[in-house]
């Protein structure tokens, strides 16, 4: 089934501060390259038959391109983002305003959370990350608002500071993840919940290969995650490799750039 995604063109993208281990302001980033790579991602979605809507980028918010962090959208209910770092603070209201203007039911959160960076929706549950950015109390707040069970998972490696850097849903029932990004208890929980999960190794995780988007058949994935692509093919999925190496300088990949809008049908 075609999906609906919200994206933000990286017109103001740069690496001018460091709020995760991937960011190095002294190395900078090439905005023109980032835009070309982002356009390639957008085209990949459209060629797969998915719909892409755009939010206007805001000058002074270089990370607004990472639309996934802007909200959680389930059944036309939009749980907004409240960012952990002040550099990104204005992004939350900007995304919430976009949805409110289009008639979605929105909630301005009371607790720190970074949208789909740390909330990943499956058919029956929402998986939620904590440990670096999203406060576990936001998991309870989101559960009350969207009306679905929210399962907390603890992240322990600062390179994988959002859940979407360490895990992605393959479909409504199964996931792919990098075990070492999670605490021992969360690993045990994932094994119990998803005994048939696809497991990724360190080499693919370290190129943000887990920051991928699956429609249940195709998996849009960072091109460098070669071993994971082979395993996905073996399991019956079709990898769609994309190059987002410039945006990775800020810790982003395909999923970071992609906020899924659910419930419009």
Find the DSSP H helices in the chain: 31-47, 91-100, 136-146, 184-193, 202-205, 226-234
By residue count, the chain amounts to 265
Question: Is 176 an active-site residue?
Answer: no
Instruction: Judge contact between 244 and 42, C-beta under 8 A.
Output: no
User: Rounded distance, CA 255 to CA 232, Å?
Assistant: 17
Q: Which of 8, 50, 139, 162 is catalytic?
A: 162
Q: Which of 8, 139, 218, 256 is catalytic?
A: 256
Question: Is 256 an active-site residue?
Answer: yes
SS3 47: helix
The burial class, CB within 10 Å (0-12 / 13-18 / 19+), for 32 is: exposed
Closest CA to 181 of 171, 170, 168: 168
Active site residues: 162, 256
């Amino acid at each position: 089934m075609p999906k609906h995604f919200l994206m933000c063109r990286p017109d103001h993208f740069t690496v001018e501060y460091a709020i995760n281990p991937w960011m190095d302001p002294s190395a900078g980033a090439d905005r023109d390259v980032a835009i070309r790579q982002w356009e390639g991602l957008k085209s990949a979605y459209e060629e797969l038959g998915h719909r892409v809507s755009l939010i206007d980028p805001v000058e002074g918010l270089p990370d607004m391109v990472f639309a996934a962090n802007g909200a959680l959208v389930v059944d036309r209910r939009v749980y907004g983002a409240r960012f952990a770092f002040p550099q990104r603070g204005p992004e939350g209201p900007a995304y919430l305003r976009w949805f409110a203007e289009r008639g979605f039911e929105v909630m301005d959160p009371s607790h720190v959370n970074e949208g789909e960076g740390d909330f990943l929706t499956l058919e029956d549950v929402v998986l939620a990350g904590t440990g670096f950015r999203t406060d576990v109390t936001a998991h309870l707040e989101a559960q009350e608002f969207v009306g679905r069970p929210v399962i907390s998972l603890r992240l322990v490696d600062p390179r994988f500071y959002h859940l979407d850097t360490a895990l992605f849903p393959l479909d409504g029932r199964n996931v792919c993840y990098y075990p070492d990004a999670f605490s021992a208890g969360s690993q045990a929980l994932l094994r119990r919940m998803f005994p048939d999960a696809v497991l990724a190794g360190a080499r693919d995780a370290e190129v943000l290969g887990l920051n991928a988007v699956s429609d249940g058949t195709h998996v849009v994935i960072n091109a460098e995650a070669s071993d994971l692509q082979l395993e996905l093919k073996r399991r019956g999925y079709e990898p769609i490799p994309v190059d987002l190496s410039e945006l990775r300088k800020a810790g982003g990949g395909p999923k970071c750039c992609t906020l899924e809008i659910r419930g419009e049908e």
